[in-house]
Amino acid sequence: MPVNFDPRTLNTYAFQALSHLRKTYENGKTKEDAEKGLKHQKNQAQELYTYISTWGLMRLKAEEKAISKEQEQKRQVVKQFFSKLEIIAGEAHHGKLTAKETNDAIEHLCSKVDANEYLGLTGLAIELANEFAFWANAIYPDITGHSE
C-alpha cells in the first residue's frame, strides 16, 4: 500500500518549530538579549544540515546534551528538530528520539534501530534539516548569523 506524503510536511514542521521558538524567546527580552538568543537559534538551525551530514544523528543527540547553558537557544533548536523528526518518522520512534534521558535516545539510535532504518531516518533528518536552514533565513531576516 503506498504511503501518502504531502511534500509540504517538512516545510510546515520546520516553519512552525522556528516560528514558535522565536516568538516564545523574544517575549519579555531586551532587544540586546533577544538578538543574542535569536542569533544562537538561527545559527543552530542553519548548521543542522552540515552537522548531520558530517557526524550523524547519534552525535547530534549527544551534542544536545553537551551544549552549554549560555547557549540554551541552540539546545532548544535541536530539541525542536528531534521533536519534529520523531513526529514525521512515525510510530516506531514515538517517544524514543525525545526521551527525557539523552542516553536513552542515543541507545535507541545505536542499538534499537537496524542499519537500513537508521540510514532512512538519517536521510529524512537531512531533508528536515535542509528545511530548518531555509526557514531560518525567512524567520530571522533581521538577525545576522555566525558572529558570536
Which of 129, 134, 133 is CA-nearest to residue 56? Answer: 129
For residue 118, what is the domain's CATH number?
Answer: 1.10.520.30
**What is the pLDDT at residue 95?**
86
Range of the domain at 101: 8-139
Those residues with Cβ within 8 angstroms of residue 90's Cβ, 6 or more apart along the chain or in another chain: none
Q: Is residue 48 part of a domain?
A: yes
Does residue 113 form part of some domain? yes
- The pLDDT value recorded for residue 74 is 95
Contact 66, 51 (CB under 8 A): no
Does residue 146 sit within a domain?
no
In a domain, 52, yes or no: yes
How far is residue 84 from each of residues 36, 80, 137, measured CA to CA in Å? 24, 6, 19
- Asked if the structure places residue 42 within a domain, the reply is yes
| Measured distance CA(103)–CA(31) in Å, rounded | 36
pLDDT in tens, the chain (148 residues): 445 667 788 999 999 999 999 999 988 888 888 999 999 999 999 999 999 999 999 999 999 989 998 899 999 999 999 999 999 988 778 888 888 888 888 898 888 888 999 999 999 999 999 999 999 999 999 998 665 5
Asked if the structure places residue 147 within a domain, the reply is no
Q: Smallest Cα–Cα separation from 73: which of 125, 34, 28?
A: 34
Cβ within 8 Å of residue 133, ≥6 positions away: 45, 46, 48, 49
- The answer to whether residue 107 sits within a structural domain is yes
pLDDT of residue 129: 97
148 occurs within a structural domain: no
User: How many domains, the chain?
Assistant: 1
Give pTM, 2 decimals.
Answer: 0.90
